[in-house]
Amino acid sequence: MSKEKKERTSNYRLTLVDDDTHDKLWTRKFNKLNILVTAITSVVVLLTALWCLIAFTPLRTFIPGYPDARTKHDAIQNAIRIDSLENVITKWELYSENLRRVVEGEEPLKIDSLMAARKQTREITDKDRAGLAMKDSLLRKEVAAEDKFDVTSGRTKTLPIEGMHFFTPLKGVVSQGYIQGLHPYIDITAPNNSVVMAVLDGTVISAGWTDEEGYTIRIQHDGDIISVYKHNQKLMKKTGDKVSAGTPIAVVGGTGTTADGDHLHFELWHKGEAVDPTKYISF
């Protein structure tokens, strides 16, 4: 008999009674098993609700270390900037190589597309980069030592570049500024058929056409200064011509495969180094 009592399940009752009338308002019977099941179920439901609250609401951003929308946006923007910088570096390396070839009288490189050039740049080895750096240094020395059309012989160079008065090459808007190493020149947009003018007195050292740069003219000035004007619609001067500051030398255009609309690609070189034209010329 005692054994049966031990094996019998203990039952409990929870009753809600009105204190004044002693009427039973609510009654619930349960045992230990019911309590255990109810507790486990409550914990599971609570944890599930908490997980849903964190996973599908902005509350998850309050967890330390959790990336928020701003962090993801910044990561995407940084990836886009890196891709843009790779394209700019690719263009600059190809530009430097083509400039060297033009100075040496060789044929410029033929680039089918920017994507092909980008793929080629990504495959450049350390040895190739060292070779490009050496070629760039040689090019700078050649520009610095250029005296074939030296217009300063027999003259005294009394003014530094900061003291020279430059003529504005084109009346327009600077659409893209100078960035050292990445974009060492400026782009100036202007209406079609606008006249391009020489920035200083000098001598035309080259004037002609290339597939990438279109109609291009280069002028040697006093003080080891060279100005370059690219993507013109047509040229008004030829190699060897003497020009004065403000003299019309070309008509703005969008010639060449690297041009994007009518604009003037303008470079200013001083002692073999590309400089920011906006520091010396008022646009």
| Listed residue (151, 149, 246, 270) closest to 198, CA to CA | 246
Does 50 score more than 70 pLDDT? yes
Same domain? 80 vs 26: no
Average pLDDT, integer, range 277-283: 88
Residue 64 pLDDT grade (very low, low, confident, very high; cuts 50, 70, 90)? low
Please count the CA atoms within 13 angstroms of the CA of 61 that sit on its side-chain side: 7
Quick check: 225 and 269 in contact, CB under 8 A? yes
**Long-range contacts formed by 110-117: CB under 8 A, 24+ apart:** 110/211, 111/212, 111/257, 114/87, 114/90, 117/90, 117/91
Is residue 12 included in any domain, yes or no? yes
Q: Which residues pair with 264 in a beta bridge?
A: 188
Residue 114 pLDDT grade (very low, low, confident, very high; cuts 50, 70, 90)? very low
Which one-letter DSSP state was computed for residue 117? H
Same domain? 110 vs 205: no
Please count the CA atoms within 13 angstroms of the CA of 258 that sit on its side-chain side: 25
**Could you tell me the CATH number of the domain that includes residue 250?**
2.70.70.10
Q: Looking at the chain, which runs of residues are DSSP E strands?
A: 11-17, 24-31, 173-176, 186-189, 195-197, 202-210, 214-221, 225-235, 242-243, 248-252, 263-270, 273-275
Quick check: 122 and 85 in contact, CB under 8 A? no
What is the extent of the structural domain holding 36? Answer: 2-58
Same domain? 51 vs 84: no
pLDDT tens-digit profile of 130-162?
666 666 666 666 666 555 555 444 444 446 888
Same domain? 27 vs 81: no
Is residue 131 included in any domain, yes or no? yes
Domain boundary among 58, 84, 102: 58
Task: Give every CB contact of residue 260 below 8 A, 6+ residues apart in sequence.
Answer: 254
- Helices 114-122 and 69-103, packing angle to 10 deg: 90
Q: Residue type for 144, please? A: A
Give me the number of domains the chain comprises: 3
Does 81 score more than 90 pLDDT? no
Secondary element (H or E) of residue 136? helix 126-144
Same domain? 40 vs 139: no
Same domain? 50 vs 98: no
Does 113 score more than 50 pLDDT? no
Is residue 154 included in any domain, yes or no? no
Which range is most confident: 7-16, 65-74, 228-237, 253-262?
228-237
User: What is the model's pLDDT at position 119?
Assistant: 52
Instruction: Provide Rg for the chain, Cα atoms.
Output: 38
Is residue 151 included in any domain, yes or no? no
Average pLDDT, integer, range 27-40: 82
